[in-house]
Copies of this chain bind each other. A is one copy, B any other.
Amino acid sequence: MKKNKPKYKQIIDAAVVVIAEHGYHQAQVSKIAKQAGVADGTIYLYFKNKEDILISLFQEKMRIFIEYIEELIAGKQSASEQLFLMIEHHFRVLADNHNLAVVTQLEIRQTNKDLRLKINGILKEYLSLVDEIISRGMEKGEINSDLDVRLVRQMIFGTIDETVTTWVMNEEKYDLVALAPQVHKLLLNGCGAV
């Protein structure tokens, strides 16, 4: 399995650095190879093509992200608490990793439709997690079950995403994690929680 070899992660980390530093359109394969300390051709022993680096990058980070959140909310009973932990973790991960924040909020979106569809495919796992929290919240009466789950999820993800993007665009001047309680309150209100 190539994904477990050291150079695989090495190249992905190099890609995050290079894309964050130079922007997606200036992140040539040769630059990524140089940053990773390997030859250009070596990239193609681990990735099908340049697009595949980006997909794998997103997949890898998302996998870790989701696994962590799943652990985090595992023992919690209330949807409200689960939602809060998710929001806070989402904010914390990106606040702690400037490069990753730039890549996911700004650079990765500069890609073509096809690539974005693939990235959306990966994102679905996260969205499913949100759906589960919502559904469980409805079952327990925490969330108004008249609402459309999909719409609620779009509100939650849209708000979180927009909040992070605005923060990145404003050069991360303020404390993102500190916004978690307010965002949580807004979203919970929206859900019709009493």
Query: Does A54 touch B at the CB level, under 8 Å?
Result: no
Tell me if B154 and A162 are in contact (CB < 8 A): yes
Tell me if B154 and A155 are in contact (CB < 8 A): no
Also in contact, A169 and B117, with CB within 8 A (given A182-B148, A190-B155, A191-B189): yes
CA distance A183 to B23 in the complex (A): 34
Interface residues of A in 111-127 (CB under 8 A from B): 111-113, 116-117, 120
Segment of A29-37, A76-84, A102-110 in the binding face: A102-110
Nearest to A107 among chain B residues (CB) is B113
Query: Does A152 touch B at the CB level, under 8 Å?
Result: yes
Q: Which of A147, A158, A187, A191 has the most chain B CB atoms closer than 10 A to its own CB?
A: A158
CA distance A110 to B112 in the complex (A): 6
List the number of copies, as a whole number: 4
Interface residues of A in 16-60 (CB under 8 A from B): 23-25
Query: Does A142 touch B at the CB level, under 8 Å?
Result: no
Interface size class of A (residues with CB under 8 A): 35 or more
Query: Does A72 touch B at the CB level, under 8 Å?
Result: no
Tell me if B154 and A166 are in contact (CB < 8 A): yes
| A-B pairs with beta carbons under 8 Å apart, 22 shown | A23-B112, A25-B112, A109-B109, A110-B111, A110-B112, A110-B116, A147-B185, A148-B182, A150-B166, A152-B186, A154-B162, A154-B163, A155-B159, A155-B186, A158-B158, A159-B159, A162-B162, A186-B190, A187-B190, A189-B189, A189-B190, A189-B192
Point out residues on A near B: beta carbons under 8 Å: 23-25, 106-107, 109-113, 116-117, 120, 147-148, 150-152, 154-155, 157-163, 166, 169, 179, 182-183, 185-187, 189-192
